[in-house]
């Protein structure tokens, strides 16, 4: 597979790869692999959420807000 980048993006990629001691192909391979793994985890999480909702296992709005607020407390 061949991937084409703009000259600016290619220069940034080569610079980043050099700073990390890797070649550009390694950096691209790792980035794409990480992105695909995150996407798969996201899709699986959505499927679990849908299954939970289908079972009626839901949290009301106030509880969601409370949980989010607790995440951001110091």
- Buried/exposed 21-46: b ≥16 CB within 10 Å, e otherwise: eeeeeebeeeeeeeeeeeeeeeeeee
Average of per-residue pLDDT values in the chain = 96
62-71 pLDDT, tens per residue? 999 999 999 9
pTM above 0.75, yes or no: no
37-52 pLDDT, tens per residue? 999 999 999 999 999 9
Instruction: Please measure the distance between the N-terminal and C-terminal CA atoms of the chain and give it in whole angstroms.
Output: 46
């Amino acid at each position: 597979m061949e991937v084409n980048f703009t000259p600016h993006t290619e220069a940034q990629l080569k610079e980043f790869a050099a700073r990390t001691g890797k070649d550009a192909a390694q950096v691209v391979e790792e980035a794409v692999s990480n992105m695909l793994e995150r996407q798969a985890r996201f899709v699986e999480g959505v499927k679990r959420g849908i299954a939970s909702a289908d079972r009626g296992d839901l949290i009301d709005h106030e509880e969601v807000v409370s949980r989010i607020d607790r995440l951001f407390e110091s």
